């Protein structure tokens, strides 16, 4: 909720407070606070991931999504090897955010025989998607598509570490 909306809600509660019963006011309670991933933080994650991709000589497509799986930032590095990576990286990030776990775990589930999981629409359940955590809460995810699954995972983890204190 943005500051304008919060002010409007606060004003509504103050206005209603004079006519509403005390029981109603107590029942409403406080709205929970939520940490959100900002564009600035997403850029920090991308910069760390890009540095790791350059260090390992694995140009990639890097995608950052919010906790609902919606794209915040997409970067296609020069010489990224696959055109399909522009679709794959956001799909990995979306899956990591929505499932609240690394896509490596999802891929392993499929490899162990849960093949029906591949029918989940809009998700890429392959190694290279990592949730972004702040104070134990998923605030988004990074998805990486480079040249190998190992590099994808390594680059994604480097990006995710950019949010650690």
**Angle at alpha carbon of residue 151, lines to 49 and 76, rounded to 5°:** 50
Which helix (H) or strand (E) segment is 26 a member of?
helix 22-28
Strands 71-76 and 61-66 turn out to be: antiparallel
Least confident of 21-30, 58-67, 87-96, 124-133: 21-30
Of 141, 148, 67, 158, which is closest to residue 103 (Cα–Cα)? Answer: 141
pLDDT at 117: 84
**Separation between Cα atoms, residue 150 and residue 50, nearest integer Å:** 15
User: Is the predicted pLDDT of residue 70 greater than 70, yes or no?
Assistant: yes
Determine the 3-state secondary structure of 130 from DSSP.
Answer: strand
User: Is the predicted pLDDT of residue 1 greater than 80, yes or no?
Assistant: no
Banded model confidence at residue 15, pLDDT cuts 50, 70, 90: very low
DSSP string, 89-115: HHHHHHHHHHHTS-HHHHHHHHHTT-G
In the predicted model, what is the mean pLDDT of the chain?
Answer: 86
Of 128, 131, 127, 110, which is closest to residue 119 (Cα–Cα)? Answer: 110
Banded model confidence at residue 14, pLDDT cuts 50, 70, 90: very low
pLDDT at 118: 85
Tens digits of residue pLDDT in 88-116: 999 999 999 999 999 999 999 999 999 88
pLDDT at 27: 60
User: Could you tell me which residues are beta bridge partners of residue 73?
Assistant: 64
pLDDT at 30: 86
Q: What is the mean pLDDT of residues 10-30?
A: 49
Contact 92, 144 (CB under 8 A): yes
Percent of the chain scored above 90 by pLDDT?
Answer: 71
Q: What is the CA radius of gyration of the chain?
A: 20
Contact 144, 65 (CB under 8 A): no
Tokens of 77: 């590095």
> Taking the model in full, what pTM does it have?
0.80
Least confident of 24-28, 29-33, 52-56, 78-82: 24-28
Banded model confidence at residue 158, pLDDT cuts 50, 70, 90: very high
């Amino acid at each position: 909720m943005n500051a304008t909306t919060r002010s409007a809600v606060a004003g509504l509660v103050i206005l209603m407070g004079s006519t509403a019963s005390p029981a109603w006011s107590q029942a409403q309670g406080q709205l929970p606070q939520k940490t959100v991933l900002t564009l600035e933080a997403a850029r920090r994650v991308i910069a760390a991931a890009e540095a790791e991709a350059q260090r390992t000589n694995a140009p990639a497509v890097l995608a950052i999504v919010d906790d609902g799986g919606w794209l915040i930032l997409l970067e296609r590095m020069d010489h990224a090897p696959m055109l399909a990576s522009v679709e794959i990286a956001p799909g990995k990030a979306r899956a990591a955010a929505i499932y609240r776990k690394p896509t490596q775990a999802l891929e392993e589930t499929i490899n162990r025989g849960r093949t029906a999981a591949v029918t989940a629409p809009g998700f890429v359940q392959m190694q290279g998607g990592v949730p972004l955590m702040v104070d134990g809460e998923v605030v988004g995810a990074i998805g990486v598509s480079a040249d190998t699954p190992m590099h994808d995972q390594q680059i994604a983890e480097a990006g995710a570490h950019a949010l650690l204190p």
